Amino acid sequence: MNDIHRVGVVGCGVMGSGIADVCARAGLDVLVAVSSGASVARGRQRLRDSLDHGLRKSVITEAERSDALERVTFTTDLGDLGDRQIVFETAPENELTKLDLFGALDKIVEDPDAILASNTSSIPIIRMAKATGRPGQVIGVHFFNPVPALPLVEVIESLLTDDETRARAEAFVVGTLGKQVIRSPDRAGFVINALLIPYLLSAIRMVETGFATADVIDKGMVLGCSHPMGPLKLADLIGLDTVASIAGALYEEFKDQQYSPPPLLLRMVEGGLLGKKTGRGFHIYS
């Protein structure tokens, strides 16, 4: 039986809005904390867009869309998350930002049994756990983009995570949100990105050396290997800044050259060519 009814989400970018969407569809009270009034407006629009997509695909009805929107409220005050039973952190993939945030949430969230969950793609969970006074309640709950469509969630317990916290987090993800779970050890990148990122970096190196164009690589993997999307379009969708951050975390952890971010990727990030979200990456988007 689900004992979690009040959900907090920190951040309302692509991942935060997706998590808010699936929690609202599940009938939960969702409070999203963002940094500014402008972020509130952008977050509300992302949430509407996500729910509208579900409506167009006949995954939800008009009534379910309206009910979900009513269940989500926004705030610019992190302190409003005090009564939440689970809080999902979806801040940018920057370790110092996440550590500061978990330190703040530790002081704000009142319930000592509340779960503090990170959606990080690569940062070891134990580092965030140590930023709090309740490391047993800190866990990784890594959704995949787009959150409403993809069924998988990685659950990552640190060496300090309580067994009860893991069990409650998994029960919430499976029983309440209807997702499927795989467990990962607390290593940078976890299971999926430890496999995926070297593949994406290999494709980027092929472009960098002139071995093949982005179009050729993506067409080859879609038509030749039955992948739903080529590696460079996938990197653009994830965000090249996020790909670079994950690669950097993996390289720092394992010191393996397969994880080293190629110079082309770093220059594109420095130039603001981040993929679909900025309109240009390895491909151009309208």
> What is the set of active-site residues?
121, 142, 154, 193
Per-residue DSSP letter, 122: S
Residue at token pair 């959900």: 7
Bridge partners of residue 88, in order along the sequence: 9, 117
Tokens for 28, please give them.
């939960």
Rounded Cα distance between 39 and 265, Å, is 28
Q: Which of 62, 67, 40 is nearest to 52 (CA)?
A: 62
Helix (H) or strand (E) run with residue 29 in it: strand 29-33
User: Could you tell me if 192 and 154 are in contact, meaning their C-beta atoms sit under 8 angstroms apart?
Assistant: yes
Structure-block tokens of residue 55: 């409506």
Please, are residues 90 and 47 in contact by the beta-carbon 8 Å criterion?
Answer: no
